[in-house]
Amino acid sequence: MIRYSLICENAHEFEGWFSESADFDRQVASGFLTCPVCNSASVSKSLMAPSVSTARKKEEMQTVAMDAARREAFVKLKEAIATIKANSEDVGTRFPEEARKIHYGEVDARGIIGQATPDEAQSLVEEGIEIAALPILPEDVN
Ligand SMILES: [Zn+2]
């Protein structure tokens, strides 16, 4: 078997296996050999050197692996935020006020989420009230 790096008229690169060199010519002539991306039958042997295509493939695989890790982290973050939201009362802009009431025992302790300006958040922290900023996920921004 011979492996050829192939390229179609739309510059899609792929690989093909052939029993012999003439097998490639036969498949092209019969229109049997088509690009897996765009289905074009205009396919020729790629002039790219094997070492270059190997290096490129490695780079692509690393990119894919990184994306998968990022996606996983993103999904975990989303789940964590969903859990917090499910177990908290959304008090909106009353957040600083409610956080103080909980901190000073004026109301029963419970989880709350809401909005606070940077100044409000800062003074809550200075009063020793534990707050955490939730990251805003892309899908929340419309
Ligand atoms: Zn193509």
pLDDT in tens, 27-45: 988 988 999 999 999 999 8
Dist. CA 65 → ligand 1 center (Å): 25
Do 111 and 74 belong to one domain? no
Per-residue pLDDT at 142: 46
**Strand intervals (E) in 11-134:** 13-18, 43-45, 89-92, 112-114
Report which of residues 38 and 130 the model is more confident about: 38
Rounded mean pLDDT of 48-77?
A: 64
Query: Crossing angle of helices 118-126/95-103, nearest 10°?
Result: 10
* Cα radius of gyration rounded to whole Å, the chain: 29
Residue 51 CA, ligand 1 centroid: distance in Å? 22
Cα 88 to middle of ligand 1, angstroms:
52
Domain count, the chain: 2
The verdict on pTM exceeding 0.85 is no
- Within this chain, do residues 80 and 96 fall inside the same structural domain, yes or no? no
Residues near 74 by beta carbon (within 8 Å), at least 6 away in sequence: 137
For residue 126, pLDDT beyond 80: yes
State the Cα–Cα distance between residues 35 and 43, nearest whole angstrom: 7
Co-location of 12 and 36 in the same domain: yes
**140 pLDDT exceeds 80?**
no
Average pLDDT, the chain: 81
Helix (H, G, I), strand (E, B) or coil at 3: strand
Contact 121, 131 (CB under 8 A): yes
Ligand 1 ion: residues within 5 Å (CB): 8, 10, 12, 35, 37-38, 40
pLDDT at 107 over 70: yes
Pick the last residue of a domain from 66, 85, 104. Answer: 85
Q: The domain containing residue 119 runs over which residues? A: 88-140
Q: Which amino acid is at 104?
A: Y
The answer on 77 and 30 residing in a single domain is yes
